[in-house]
Chains A and B, each alone.
Chain A
Amino acid sequence: MHIPDGYLSPSTCAVMYAASSPCWWTALRRTRRKLFGRTLPLLSLFAAFSFVTMMFNLPLPGGTTGHAVGVGIAAVVLGPWASLLAISLALTIQALFFGDGGITTLGANCFNMAIAGSFAAWGIYKLVSWGAAAESRRRVVAAALAGYGAINLSALLAAIEFGIQPILFHDASGTPLYAPYPLRIAIPAMMAGHLTIAGAAEALMSAGLFSYLRRNDPALLGIPSSTTLERRKAASGLWGALAAVMLLTPLGILASGAAWGEWAPKDFADVAGRAQIAAASRSAAPVAAPNGLARMANLWTAPMPDYAPHFVKSAAFGYLLSAMFGVGLILAVAWLAQRVMQPTIKRRET
């Protein structure tokens, strides 16, 4: 799948360089902050590892052998952006130093294997392993499918690039100037080997290395353990309960009268209010609001008196809005407190 020089027209090569460049640029920009930490040697070493694993002869069912690119495990461990850089580095070294893949076609090879491959592998892995615990077998299957899907997408892209050459670039006599086969030949010819041998090799390597890492260095995979998942499930239950309680807040309208001890000075002024106070307290209500209450009651005027902003006409909606506002405010304060206190907690822990 490493397209050598001479198979693609210079304009195709230019287009593929142009398509790869923004991805490289974004990947560099995204990893630049981390690049001068541990990520720098990690990227280089992963690229070197990918290069070396490409030289492994993997025995496959049926007696044949195949080579893996390593894009599956790179995307799972490093994420798509760092993975595309690592695989691009490996492909560049191969092209420049070992003549495996061309220099003019490097843009195309990187686009097919490093860029499309990394995103496909990462997407498939995330999709298939969604919600699976660290120990789950589904994660190994997800890693295998990630490798298999990535390598086949890369092969398909290479086949399309080959297949459009005779359509776009031929001379007056109809002689193809570059790769000679049209799409209807290029795609099956390329995919036959990748859907079977190369795909199997990549799936095998991805799944094998994933299992190995999970046993020996699970932190590197950054996958949640079953305890974390249970915690997340419990937390999601709490969020659900909170939402339900918020939805039920308009029930407060059903209660008649004022709650005991929450009287306003005006409740003492009218007869109905005084009757309610007397019934709730089982004693006679004072003739007027106590002096202290009357003096202090107007010290603070709430922006949403009686759980309904003045512009909201529906009482039920007002309750709901107030509940959402209140919960949001509490969460914001909690988040802020956590942000402020976290460095202190971390310092204490270390």
Chain B
Amino acid sequence: MSAGVVSKTVRGFTEALAQTLMSEDSAHELGLLQSLDPRVKLVGLLAMVVAAALSRKLMVMGALFGMGIVLALVSRLSLVSLAKRVWLVAFGFTFMIAAPALFLTPGTVAYRLPLGGIAITAQGLRTALLLIVRVETAVTLSTLLVLTTPWMHLLKALRTLLVPVEVIMLLAMTHRYVVLLSETANAMFESRQSRMVGQLNGHEQRRMMVNTGGVLLSKTLDLGNQVFMAMQARGFRGEVRLLHEFRLRARDYLAISGFAVTVAVAVVAGR
């Protein structure tokens, strides 16, 4: 189906753009995580992701996942959209990868399937569960960070992790143009879709997609020149300055303590 490929691509762009808008909206809600200093949130939630990765116990990972849900609730995030956008997607992907491990992991037989007598091993079951719960926990915690922090604040907070200032500037520009180029590509595909009747064969479809990519690349390079001239016109002399308006308040110190205790307990209990 010629329209299928274009529709699929347009749908992908629309979803990505909707996601961008949703993140910006939820980052401005009046919730707990939104009220914290982005640096505290970044380091705290990342430390929780690392604690989940270090943990060898399902209970500890489950507890961290539970904390993620509580944090989402007090940050006024919709659990339904979190389930649809994050949990189901991560589960579907990880289950596909983890399922064969039920049968392929060597170990003691825990259950034998009635059909064909294929055995599920205890080790296979545990490794599949570990993988799924760990991935769900990590994805939930990192999504919390993105959904409760405006992108520019998140980038500035990366300075705490010693990310060079040039990289932060590059990331900020890249993000801006990801949105712009996504919109441009979306418009190109939509206009193509509206002009298309009948069906294209495989070769024609490929040519159309690659040519669209080529036109987009041309536009990208033109834009690059324009952006550079605009930067120069505004006095860009090669120095990058970030405005540091972050200030730690009492609640941030409380949050630091909370994250520190949680991570320490999770690391010790998860061994």
Is A273 close to B, CB under 8 A? no
- CB within 8 Å for A180 and B56 given contacts A49-B220, A208-B211, A217-B221: no
Interface residue SS majority, chain B: helix
**B211-A9 in contact (CB<8A):** no
**B56 → A minimal CB distance (Å):** 6
- CB within 8 Å for A185 and B104 given contacts A4-B139, A180-B128: yes
Is A124 close to B, CB under 8 A? no
Is A128 close to B, CB under 8 A? no
Report how many A-B pairs have Cβ atoms within 8 Å: 237
Which chain A residues (203-261) contact chain B, with CB distance < 8 Å? 204-205, 208-209, 211-213, 216-217, 220
Q: Give chain B residues whose Cβ lies under 8 Å from the Cβ of A173.
A: 107, 122-123, 126
Is A276 close to B, CB under 8 A? no
Is B95 close to A, CB under 8 A? no
**A28-B142 in contact (CB<8A):** no
Is A141 close to B, CB under 8 A? no
Q: Give chain A residues whose Cβ lies under 8 Å from the Cβ of B217.
A: 49, 73, 209, 212-213
Q: Give chain B residues whose Cβ lies under 8 Å from the Cβ of A6.
A: 52-53, 94, 131, 134-135, 137-139
**B187 → A minimal CB distance (Å):** 12
Q: Give chain B residues whose Cβ lies under 8 Å from the Cβ of A265.
A: none
Which chain A residues (47-85) contact chain B, with CB distance < 8 Å? 47-49, 51-53, 55-61, 63, 65, 73, 85
Residue in B closest to A49 when the chains form the complex, CB atoms:
B220
Q: How far is A163 from B138 in the complex, measured between Cα atoms in Å?
A: 21
**A45-B127 in contact (CB<8A):** no
Is B196 close to A, CB under 8 A? no
**B49-A104 in contact (CB<8A):** yes
**B178-A48 in contact (CB<8A):** yes
Pick out which of these stretches binds chain A: B9-17, B31-39, B66-74, B247-255. Answer: B9-17
**A325 → B minimal CB distance (Å):** 45
Residue in B closest to A210 when the chains form the complex, CB atoms:
B214
Q: Which of A35, A104, A175, A204 contacts B126 (CB 8 A)?
A: A175
Is B193 close to A, CB under 8 A? no
Q: Give chain A residues whose Cβ lies under 8 Å from the Cβ of B25.
A: none
